[in-house]
Structure 1
């Protein structure tokens, strides 16, 4: 089952949200994400969070769950609920932008919840982020931006194929070396690695003018 979680960061463009909602069986707004949903002309199935940002309206027709636990942020609360309601493929929107500390926290949440879903993807108006499995292959348009980041410390034994700047049994490490702003030169691209947590960012296809 596919679920959409909308957070209170930089709002997704309306066509991006609409595209995912057409495929989703559950739409969760994380606290202030409920305001964003309303602003974009949609009602979530429910809103969950400590409700310090959500503005209720008399026209709301959905469940609201208040969770005041300060050990978890609103995204964690939403992901926990999505997992309990049998979501296997989760797409999180509105998860970047605004406060940088919250964006960094959400990347930590991505790592901690990744194994609870078949796929867990962060998406914004510029592209898609997710943790790579040990072996990954994808058909991507030539010229697409691909960035690789070691999410926690060091990632070793990285091999890439189809990128302008290849890696051959090499390492990336926080504060020392990352793999930002690479480009697809042939497809499919292939990425493998031995150890660590490797985050990929795939830039949005610039031919998709609707986004």
Structure 2
């Protein structure tokens, strides 16, 4: 049985290359300006969601008419960001994996908040990744396999005070039963040297970022 995947287009940096990530059967969610981006490129979102404070009233009407379903909320009274609302919809749709695009950009507050959304997805046992032109970001609390995706580096960033029992296999700089503490840069800029790498940890939450310049 094929796992159901949701793909979120949010209002950060998006390019035409992001459209190439869409696969047959994906449940497509447009968050705020991300919904407009989809429609402008001939893609019909299954759901468009947000306060739509980043688009004009005319653009919002266009989104509403071109989406299969639209959920609009008050920009002041809502408790969740547009991207988190999109994740909630993906969870309601029982997606087993969520790919988030357009969730990084010039607003560091939004970028960091969206990275932390990976924790929420993990709590609901949903695989989730953030992707942009230079980064592919995942979170693990156990084991993660890394395959070549065109990125140069793989960096390990603790998302808890410390991450223990780290094992790296298939990388230039292996680790064995290592501990990384928040604030340390020891895990930055490793490189995959095998057809596939494995990262495993015993405790904590570890952010795994594949990146390129």
Q: TM-score range by the shorter chain?
A: 0.7 to 0.9
Distance 2:198 2:94 in 1: 30
Whether contact under 8 Å (2:151, 2:211) holds in the other structure is no
TM-score by length of 1: 0.85
Deviation at 1:77, TM superposition (A): 0.7
Residue pairs, 1:136-147, within 5 angstroms: 136-140=144-148, 144-147=152-155
Residue pairs, 1:117-136, within 5 angstroms: 117-136=125-144
Aligned to 1:29: 30
**Which shifted more, 20-29 or 56-65?**
56-65
1:71-126 Cα offsets, whole Å, 9 max, x none, are: 21111111111111222221110011120111011111111222325321111112
Name the CA shift for 1:174/1:83 in 2 (closer, same or farther; >3 Å): same
TM-score by length of 2: 0.84
1:117-144 Cα offsets, whole Å, 9 max, x none, are: 5321111112311112412334437983
Structure 2 unaligned regions, length at least 5: none
Distance 1:143 1:95 in 2: 19
4+ runs deviating over 6 angstroms: none
Number of residues of Structure 1 aligned to a counterpart in Structure 2: 203
CA RMSD of aligned residues (A): 2.3
Structure 1 unaligned regions, length at least 5: 207-211
Distance 1:136 1:51 in 2: 36
Distance 1:24 1:67 in 2: 27
